[in-house]
């Protein structure tokens, strides 16, 4: 199993962090009793700019969950289409060549699901095997690679695509000025990313997927996720996320690598989800990484923010385009998300 390619797509509206802060002050108005807290939290987010699916002045009109979700359905199709095309076209793969499609999002829902809508929009095969997933959040990009690898291991002559689309700005709520939401509105951006997972008999090149590991941490469901009501999604984002990372990640990675006769010293590069400054710092500490090891993740965070499920695929795209490992070198791709849980993928270039 190999990762043959990756692509991403972003909305055309791009704002620096200061412009978004100004827009949110206007959006919340008198509800925001501590604007200085908003400024401070956004300044500490590690984000310099983000793409938003709409101009900032348009969000005031999105006053129901139904309106937000209708916008998600519209724009998720457009961005998902573009991300898939940018992943497959350089490889000479046509849409009809895709055998399985894994689609993840945690910022909107549709039935028929997004994958079904893309079959019609892109002319994908009517025999496409589909796996739409909601609820995994930030871990879903790594989860999708792992599950697509399972698929092409069983069908080595086939190609699977993982697509993650997150339009986080459509979850903004005017009735929520909690500290968690102030953090979230400063951290999460909009975008889509796709990865191509190829079976051994397809002839496609790329880093080999050696193995994957899923880890669930019992009784941590309050760490991250959504409270969902008639008003839409309300962010659950505990300050304990970095503590969970520090408590578990090192032993999880060490035991996984040991099964392959490896240790962290054997890993040439780390392809890590852009969870935010405190999460990235916790990963650096937990894994005892050398200085600069997570620079690609930090740069992705600066340029587009945390894209939830799509983030790790964007970092992967950067590695495939600009940071490919030497032949035989090992990489670890990893992400964490609601559950709380982690997905770890061992790659060999």
CA distance 20 to 243: 29
Contact predicate 209/145, CB 8 Å: yes
Among the listed residues 138, 168, 300, 341, the single catalytic one is: 138
Q: Hey, which residues does 267 pair with through a beta bridge?
A: 330
Strands 159-167 and 129-134: unpaired
Query: Nearest Cα to 274, choosing from 117, 168, 173?
Result: 168
Query: Nearest Cα to 62, choosing from 167, 168, 170, 178?
Result: 170
Phi, psi of 345 (to 5 degrees): -125, 130
Is 341 among the catalytic positions?
A: no
Tokens of 9: 């797509």
CA distance 304 to 10: 9
- DSSP state letter for 288: T
Residue bearing tokens 């996984």 = 256
Vertex 16 angle, CA 15 and 19, to 5°:
80
Q: What residues contact 62, with CB distance under 8 A and at least 6 apart?
A: 54, 68, 71, 170, 172
Q: What residues contact 336, with CB distance under 8 A and at least 6 apart?
A: 138, 139, 241, 244, 245, 249, 273, 275, 279, 342, 343
Angle (deg, nearest 10), helices 17-28 and 35-43: 150
User: Containing H/E element for 69?
Assistant: helix 65-88
| Catalytic residue set | 138
């Amino acid at each position: 199993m190999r990762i043959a390619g990756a692509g991403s797509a972003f909305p055309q509206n791009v704002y620096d962090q200061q412009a978004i802060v100004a827009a949110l002050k206007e959006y919340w108005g008198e509800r925001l009793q501590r604007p200085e807290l908003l400024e401070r939290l956004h300044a500490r987010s590690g984000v310099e700019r983000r793409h938003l699916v709409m101009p900032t002045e348009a969000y005031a009109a999105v006053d129901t969950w139904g309106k937000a979700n209708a916008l998600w359905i519209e724009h998720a199709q457009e961005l998902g289409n573009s991300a898939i095309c940018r992943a497959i076209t350089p490889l000479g793969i046509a849409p009809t060549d895709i055998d399985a499609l894994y689609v993840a999002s945690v910022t909107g829902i549709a039935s028929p699901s997004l994958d079904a809508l893309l079959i019609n929009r892109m002319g994908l095969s009517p025999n496409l095997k589909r796996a739409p997933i909601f609820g995994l959040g930030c871990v879903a990009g790594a989860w999708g690679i792992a599950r697509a690898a399972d698929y092409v291991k069983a069908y080595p002559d086939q190609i699977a695509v993982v697509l993650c689309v997150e339009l986080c700005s459509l979850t903004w709520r005017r009735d929520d000025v909690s500290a968690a939401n102030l953090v979230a509105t400063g951290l999460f951006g909009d975008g889509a990313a796709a990865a191509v997972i190829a079976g051994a008999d397809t002839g496609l090149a790329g880093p080999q997927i050696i193995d994957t590991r899923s880890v669930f941490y019992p009784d941590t469901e309050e760490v991250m996720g959504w409270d969902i009501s008639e008003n839409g999604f309300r962010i659950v984002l505990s300050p304990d996320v970095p503590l969970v990372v520090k408590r578990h990640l090192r032993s999880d990675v060490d035991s996984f690598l040991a099964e392959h006769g490896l240790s962290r010293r054997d890993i040439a590069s780390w392809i890590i989800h852009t969870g935010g400054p405190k999460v990235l710092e916790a990963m650096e500490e937990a894994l005892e990484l050398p200085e600069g090891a997570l620079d690609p993740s930090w740069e992705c965070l600066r340029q587009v923010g945390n894209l939830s499920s799509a983030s790790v695929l964007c970092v992967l795209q950067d590695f495939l385009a600009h940071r490919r490992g030497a032949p035989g070198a090992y990489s670890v791709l990893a992400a964490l998300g609601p559950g709380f849980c982690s997905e770890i993928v061992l790659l060999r270039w």
